[in-house]
């Protein structure tokens, strides 16, 4: 939702005032508007270079990237994949569809990422892979999980959808997994409207990903297929946006961190009412993809009521992810029956994030903070 006035502050507004129009005009002028255009390779090459990875494969969205990651690692019926309980359902759709078994771990109450101390107990002889998902601004404490992967011979899928440019112990997020995925949805740090990317250093994995995104056409005989793939091709116009956005990634990261500091300063006196995001851990500085808060138990209403109050005062907000073990479609299919993950459950019921797009202004941050204080006092 574009923000055309201060009357309503949307939860996100992207920043598109660089070379986006110029590159889109080039697509139109040349007629290269499909997935065959030159901006696809430019975006892939630039993104791979930015991360320091060998291969980047552009796709339609972040969910498609996760689907391809699960498929390309050969996860099949009966295999188990460890996944955080607090994450978007995209993380397990292909796991479920292929007949594999998702095994959940609870969240850490300070970062809302998966609690790394719980992963080893979840490993069985059927475990094939571990999926780590970086949430909201801080990465997962990945080294202990990577060590488990080496110890038990497990593949690591890294979902870095929200972490463009973030680092973990000076290594870029998106370089930690055997295969890593990104989303370029409109609320991400860099956006192509919709879009995603798979990145890897493995030549065979990269080749397979390229085939899967393009219906697995035989490379020597078009319209001849020995395997079922998908049509997951990013368009040249989307990639043109991505190239323009990536040119400004350093500025975008600084904008995000400045926003986080301003919100933190403005809301620090409400610490007894709301849990604020950690500014840093011993392995990362918060990138503040969004500015999340969790209502303390002393607040007599939940996140849904808080969001309603914010909306009535002209401010957008978005809830935390709803835990996977409480998703109706999964419970009806017999998954996670009787399982409880109390940290994820509490975060879902009492967590929300406030306007935090790249185009947000200081005056808007100040207004949001004032309204939060009014609601809570």
Instruction: Please write down the HEC assignment for all residues of 318-341.
Output: EECCCCHHHCHHHHHCCCCCCCCC
User: Are residues 261 and 241 in contact, defined by beta-carbon separation less than 8 angstroms?
Assistant: no
What is residue 96's predicted lDDT score, i.e. its pLDDT?
97
Taken as a whole, the chain contains a residue count of 377
Q: Give residue 219's pLDDT.
A: 86
Q: Domain ranges for the chain, please list them.
A: 20-246, 249-376
Distance between CA atoms of residues 172 and 253, nearest Å: 13
Decide: 224 and 218 in contact? Cβ < 8 Å.
yes
Whether the predicted pLDDT of 4 surpasses 90: no
Contact present, 213 and 230 (Cβ < 8 Å): yes
Look up the pTM and report it.
0.95
pLDDT in the model for residue 258: 98
Q: Above 90 in pLDDT, residue 118?
A: yes
- What number is the average pLDDT over the span 330-334? 96
Question: What is the Cα–Cα distance from 149 to 140, expressed in whole angstroms?
Answer: 15
Instruction: Yes or no: say if 331 and 229 are a contact pair by the CB < 8 Å rule.
Output: no
CATH number of 20-246: 3.40.47.10, 3.40.50.720, 1.10.760.10, 3.40.640.10?
Answer: 3.40.640.10
pLDDT at 2: 42
Predicted pLDDT at 6: 57
Residue 1 has pLDDT above 70, yes or no: no
Indicate the pLDDT class of residue 220, thresholds 50, 70 and 90: confident
Crossing angle, helix 236-246 and helix 249-267, to 10 degrees? Answer: 70
Residues 288-302, mean pLDDT to the nearest whole number: 98
Contact 148, 123 (CB under 8 A): yes
Residues 6+ apart with CB under 8 A from 265: none
Q: For residue 72, give the H/E element and its range.
A: helix 62-72
pLDDT at residue 185, as a whole number: 97
Q: Which fold has domain 249-376?
A: 3.90.1150
């Amino acid at each position: 939702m574009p923000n055309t006035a201060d009357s309503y502050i949307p939860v996100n507004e992207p920043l598109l005032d660089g070379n986006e129009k110029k590159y889109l005009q080039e697509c139109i002028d040349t007629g290269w508007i499909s997935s065959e255009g030159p901006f696809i390779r430019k975006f892939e090459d630039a993104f791979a270079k930015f991360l320091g990875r060998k291969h980047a494969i552009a796709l339609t969205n972040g969910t498609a990237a996760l689907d391809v990651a699960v498929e390309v690692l050969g996860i099949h019926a009966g295999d188990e994949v460890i996944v955080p309980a607090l994450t978007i359902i995209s993380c397990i759709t292909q796991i479920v569809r292929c007949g594999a078994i998702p095994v959940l771990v609870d969240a850490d109450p300070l970062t809302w990422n998966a609690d790394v101390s719980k992963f080893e107990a979840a490993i069985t002889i059927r475990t094939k892979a571990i999926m780590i998902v970086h949430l909201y601004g801080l990465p997962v404490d990945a080294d202990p999980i990577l060590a488990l992967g080496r110890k038990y011979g497990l593949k690591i899928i890294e979902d870095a959808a929200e972490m463009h440019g973030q680092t973990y112990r000076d290594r870029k997020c998106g370089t930690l997994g055997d295969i890593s995925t990104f989303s370029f949805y409109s609320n991400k740090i860099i956006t192509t409207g919709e879009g995603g990317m798979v990145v890897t250093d493995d030549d065979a994995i990269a080749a397979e990903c390229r085939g899967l995104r393009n219906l697995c056409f035989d490379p020597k005989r078009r319209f001849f297929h020995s395997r079922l793939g998908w049509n997951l091709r990013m368009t040249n116009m989307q990639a043109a946006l991505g190239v323009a956005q990536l040119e400004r990634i350093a500025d975008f990261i600084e904008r995000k961190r400045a926003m986080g500091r301003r919100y933190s300063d403005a809301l620090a006196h409400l610490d007894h009412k709301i849990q604020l995001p950690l500014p840093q851990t011993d392995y990362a500085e918060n990138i503040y993809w969004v500015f999340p808060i969790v209502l303390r138990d002393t607040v007599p209403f939940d996140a849904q009521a808080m969001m309603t109050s914010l909306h009535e005062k002209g401010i957008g907000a978005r809830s935390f992810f709803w835990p996977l073990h409480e998703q109706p479609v999964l419970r009806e299919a017999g998954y996670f029956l009787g399982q409880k993950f109390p940290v994820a459950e509490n975060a879902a019921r009492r967590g929300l994030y406030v306007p935090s797009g790249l185009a947000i202004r200081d005056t808007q941050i100040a207004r949001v903070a004032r309204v939060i204080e009014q609601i809570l006092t």
